[in-house]
Amino acid sequence: MTEEQSAKASRSERPLFVFIHDADATIGTEDDKAFQDERVAVGARFFDCVRISKADAAEDRLLKPYVGKAPVLLFLRPSYEVAASHPARFNASKIFDAMCATMKKDYRNSGDTVLKQQRDIEKDRAALERDREKLAKLEEESRGSAKAEKLRGEISATESAILTREETLYRLEPKDEGKTS
């Protein structure tokens, strides 16, 4: 593959979220909480996430300069340019902000907007679950009632709508997509 082909291929790839860790040390509970945060989980769906030991990172020409700062988080653009780095003591806000800033450089997607839409989807899922409970009660009381059939149809339509929204929600949209040269 030529350098030009490699550059074109990298534009279609997702950004990288790299965690360089010290294999001999344990991750602190603060760091664990940051990775479990809703914002980080939503943002991570736009990244290829990699966890790599200091020893392995030392062998990589892009990661080698950051080994001494481990544990460290790196956010790399699809062009493999480091967009942000955060050594030790991670918190969810900093991680999410770095994800958003990294995405903003190459993509139209907004992490904050996606997070809000994901929360709306979760509310819709909760409402859907309440409707399923109503349907179960209706079916217990009167099998095959028109009311139960109507609710079943509404549930099916809502499920489809939620799936469609989620499919499009996590699709990366490059900024330069659709431009002609």
Domain boundary among 88, 106, 124: 106
Does residue 94 sit in the same domain as residue 48? yes
Could you count the other beta carbons within 10 Å of the beta carbon of residue 138?
17
Domain boundary among 87, 106, 125: 106
Among 103, 79, 106, 107, smallest CA distance to 8 is for 79
Q: What is the pLDDT of residue 22?
A: 82
| Count of structural domains within the chain | 2
Could you tell me if 16 and 47 are in contact, meaning their C-beta atoms sit under 8 angstroms apart?
A: yes
Domain presence at residue 46 = yes
Does residue 92 sit in the same domain as residue 140? no
For 77-111, what is each residue's pLDDT tens digit? 998 999 999 887 788 999 999 999 999 999 999 99
Domain presence at residue 174 = no
Query: What is the pTM (predicted TM-score) of this model?
Result: 0.76
With tokens 């309440």, the residue in question is 130
Q: Identify the segments of the chain with pLDDT beneath 50.
A: 1-3, 5-11, 29, 180-181
- Name, in order, each residue with C-beta under 8 angstroms of 106's C-beta and a sequence gap of 6 or more: 15, 77, 78, 174, 175
